[in-house]
Amino acid sequence: MVGVHTPKKDNEPLLQCTHHMCPIRVHWHVKTNYKDYWRVKVAITNFNYRMNHSLWSLAVQHPNLNNLTQVFSFNYKPLLPYGSINDTGMFYGMKYFNDLLMEAGPTGNVQSELLLQKDKDTFTFKQGWAFPRKVYFNGDECMLPPPDAYPFLPNSAPASLLNFPAFIFLLLFLLSVW
């Protein structure tokens, strides 16, 4: 029996239950593989029902950030901790557009696309290369799987099972038998 002075219990969860047990998800999706460029979609989702992240920041370490050509709807500033090596960058929201990451729900998501140029001497999608090495959201490190746990992405289209001369030979053989 509930007493008169017992406070009403709020049974609403504070966080959405997720398999990764983190209130934020940073999703890095290799969207398109062009001949000279590749496009990535970055989405940040808030799973906390009672917290907004105003003036959020996302620091990313990726070996191809030195070839970043365009960022579509986040602000970006390269961080040069090692002088000439540009593999770390800071992403943050555009003022009055997406600088406020709202609480969980339909508005609890901000996203952008990045366009990166390929360096033919060093570029490859092999062994998780397309994914960041480290990610920090508002200064807190996000745990990432090791590079060998990422799915292997193709560098090119699969070879055709039947080439043209073999097709012609098969066609002529079938016509002669028929």
Query: Which of 61, 73, 71, 77 is closest to 99 using CA atoms?
Result: 73
Is 5 among the domain residues? no
User: Does 67 reside within a domain?
Assistant: yes
Domain that holds residue 131: 24-177
pLDDT one-digit tens code per residue, 26-47: 999 999 988 889 999 999 999 8
107 domain-assigned: yes
Could you tell me which of 64, 74, 79 has the C-alpha nearest to residue 116? 64
**Looking at the domain assignment, is residue 159 inside a domain?**
yes
Residue 138 near residue 117, CB atoms below 8 Å: no
Q: Which of residues 3 and 101 earns the better pLDDT score?
A: 101
CATH number for the domain spanning 108: value is 2.60.40.290
Residue 7 in domain: no
Q: What mean pLDDT value characterizes the chain?
A: 81
| Cut 0.75: pTM above it | no
- Token couple for 152: 């292997």
Domain total in the chain:
1
Q: Which of 108-112, 142-146, 157-161 has the lowest mean pLDDT?
A: 157-161
